Structure 1
């Protein structure tokens, strides 16, 4: 690694300007203003190893927008990588669509830069800039734990593999040379002389295709994975690699660089954490949910208390089904379970009065009398609905928050069953719900690969007897809504006829909508959720 590779890791200050709303990135030894030539050099190719950090100022809105878009892209890469063969045309088509929708560089030449006068060149430059900056932002957010680093590396590798494989031969060679990987293609004459050896030693190479393919001459120590599996021809200390396999060599290099960079970045986190405004934003990104906001209760009053038992069996995700079962059996949930389940019920349509009645009736069946409930628990429920404290419309937990929040301890039932349950216990639970043996194996395989949201999506498909859910699962309330749509023939849950409840006119459904200019920022939302945490008791 060159000294330039470590520039990002030698972070000195990373702060938010008070008035200008700009995030200023300053690095040791990097005080000169970035010139146009430097920018053109940085974004001279559509693909990067991300060795050199961003060298410019960006606005706070751009900072967050870039990060969220890249996170959406990586989530798509993860979902498609499990659902489709990564070399299939369907995989490539769907990923190409996501690139276009989110504005990242894809299938372009290496000769375009911001100096181009035409609009296409300018647009391509902006895409490369977004790709570069967004990678480094998420590198900061995902360096904090081993699980986050592992997930980030895997998705970035899959993303890199796809983009490199889509490059034309000329641009692959340009990329290798630009990154000091001096792997040159062999001449037609050498290819002819080694034709038989190349055919016999290389997978998917035949007599008719060997002449059409490029072969790279690589020092054998750089191609140990291919040598180990006997997929290449060796001669005089060099491996002769067909063009479709050179990506293996490049990916190993990319993974090594990124893994070291994340480990070193983690050591530099105190420099970032010293800014109390930036750290919540980075924490949010690592737990980020980028879908619909279920804090806006469009379904208020559509669910009656009598429906909950039935709905839990057919339309609750496994995490909420588990919490509901524990509440009915124990007549109590601890702090983490009350927060996770309470906000979910709010999101599916329970009113404040319904929520108070639901929790009171259940707790009274246990060891809590009515007076104690009203004194110790009712306030926190009203607070959850925005009727106490800051009067904030709190958001139901997303899958990422459930998965990455504090794991459950003895006596807890919150968390994600696919993430936090022992595999054997999870298997028994799935068997008790009458899932097929083959389906259980599929779920456990996804869990083993740490694809917890995809495991939950497979659970949805098995319990609803469908082959393809048709959506990417990111939120427990999304699971409920999609289930109700499916079971209702495309319609959401119908409102039950019930007597109007006193005080219902004061629920969150009647709170005026907030103009976009005054909506909560990401950091504020994180702070508000922390504030809600403090109102729940641990007993």
Structure 2
């Protein structure tokens, strides 16, 4: 595909020169042809990188050795720049030179702009992760490279003269951490309008006088980040205006829509573990191994004996993913619904077909995939009377606090979760909930899927061994047979238009009768 049908004359540098630089503001869009396969590969790899940036930023102090080590490893694995040395044409083991990596970095950034400019929530998430990634890369530059970057991007902040520095020496020394009386006269201080350095003013790291702040050289990254954030925010707003033209391309629209809900982990739709759990285990499992979203749905179903279509889809596919067979699913939903206002005949006519369809036994006979966290968070928000969605995303903070208290989460743990929610880190809030309810200080995985939560929980509680022992006793009593459990096959999901269309088709089938 081609990013631009007409090559505009711009005042920016040729892209060959651009890829020779260790860092950029992404001011110049790519003007080249790439295949749809490369388009999608680049986008998925960058999405993996940004998700790692989010996870590492919460788990470690930004800028700490552990933080840097993790980002270096992830950038290296995904073939993005990780040690920013200009004009390095040497090839790594993957066969990509440093300019090749920068090309991938440049193009993938603009692809995700298209995917993540569509809503305010998506824009906020994208900007925050890109800013954090930029901070890590800028701090990795040498002092000389930093100055070259500032000059190359017209960030010509004025440095104060010797006389002014001497006159303000005591003020600068007292207001700037890390600056000593010996070094204050030997390093540059930038005089910047205070509105460009609000973060530094708020944390009292600079001297403020007459509407200007005096910033030591090592703190200039804050100004650069503010500039980058402003530019990126404006660029996303402009990109959103061009979306109608982009969506007119039938090849791109499904890919971009899917990227904004993309899940890049294990596929839980392939069921080699059907029959792994029994119906008698569900209540017990919901209390100890369900993520909060599924625990909420299960409780609502038990109390109301009914779920509307959004809840049936989200919970039904989750149950399928943890090992409930079609026969068990029909029995489970029928027994619960007939305890409410639905008799057995109405259930068979109005609901049984949709359950069989979900298991690939009706319609297109597609093996539908359980919802991942991104789909739960970003699509089909719950309305009054609904119980689906993500409690960390869609619940009022006070109601969420009450629910966590009811589930005996400690007050300090609740505060940690609410802080993550406030920062819109919903998956990380769920991961913190996992740690608190399983008495684990630090998880070794990045949570991206409700079914992943369940499997990781079962590992903590003894994994398949406990499930198999319970299942053996139940099955021997009922059928005198044992269904062997096996691992779920790990593979990337199909990210193409067909997968999206199939899920939309399933949505329509689950509508209220």
**Do they superpose with TM above 0.5?**
yes
Deviations 1:23-58 (A, max 9, x none): 2222444499xxxx9232221212111111011111
1:389-434 per-position Cα deviation (integer Å, ceiling 9, x unaligned):
1111111001110011111111111001111111111111111112
> Is the Cα–Cα contact under 8 Å of residues 353 and 501 in structure 1 kept in the other structure?
no
User: Alignment length, in residue pairs?
Assistant: 498
Structure 2 unaligned spans of 5+: none
Q: Which residue of 2 aligns with 1:46?
A: 22
* 1:445-485: CA deviation from partner (whole Å, max 9, x where unpaired): 21122111111111111111221122211110000000000
Q: Which whole-Å CA distance do the structure 1 matches of 2:42 and 2:3 have between them?
A: 15
1:102 partnered with 2:78? yes
Deviation at 1:86, TM superposition (A): 0.8
Which of these residues, 250, 271, 294, is aligned with residue 276 of structure 1?
250
2:3 corresponds in structure 1 to: 25
The correspondence for 2:288, drawn from 304, 311, 314, is 314
> Aligned residue for 1:245?
219
Q: Which ranges in structure 1 are unaligned for 5 or more consecutive residues?
A: 1-22
**Is this contact kept in 2: 1:294–1:396, CA < 8 A?**
yes
Farther-moved stretch of structure 1 (91-100 vs 409-418): 91-100
Q: 1:386 to 1:205 in 2, by over 3 A?
A: same
1:458–1:163 distance in 2 versus 1, CA, 3 Å:
same
8 Å CA contact retained: 2:293, 2:390: yes
Conserved? CA contact 1:68–1:290, under 8 Å: yes
C-alpha RMSD of the superposition: 3.0
Q: Contact 1:76–1:95 at 8 Å: present in 2 too?
A: yes
TM (norm. structure 2) is: 0.89
Task: State TM-score, norm by structure 1.
Answer: 0.85
Match of 1:119 in 2: 91
* 2:362 counterpart of 1:391: no
Query: Partners in 1 of 2:466 and 2:246 — Cα distance?
Result: 44
SS in 2 for 1:469: coil
Instruction: Tell me the equivalent position of 1:454.
Output: 428
CA distance in 1, matches of 2:2, 2:357: 37
Residue 227 of structure 1 deviates from its aligned partner by 5.4
Within the candidate set 24, 49, 68, 1:73 is matched to 49
Q: Distance in 2 between matches of 1:344 and 1:445?
A: 28
Q: 1:230 to 1:410 in 2, by over 3 A?
A: closer
Match of residue 14 from structure 1: none
Q: Supply the distance in 1 between the matched residues of 2:422 and 2:43 (Cα, whole angstroms).
A: 28
Shift of 1:216: 4.7
**Could you say what secondary structure the match of 1:394 adopts?**
coil
1:63 equivalent in alignment to 2:35: no
> 226-235 vs 263-272, which deviates more?
226-235
Partner residue of 1:466?
440
| CA-to-aligned-CA distance 1:250-283 (integer Å, 9 cap, x gap) | 0111011111111111111100111233111111
Query: Is 1:337–1:413's contact at 8 Å kept on the other side of the alignment?
Result: yes
* 1:376/1:195 CA distance change after superposition, 3 Å: same
1:373 alignment counterpart: 347
Deviates more, 1:336-345 or 1:98-107: 98-107
Q: Please tell me whether the aligned partners of residues 46 and 106 of structure 1 are also in contact (alpha carbons under 8 angstroms).
A: no
In 1: Cα distance, 2:250 partner to 2:367 partner: 23
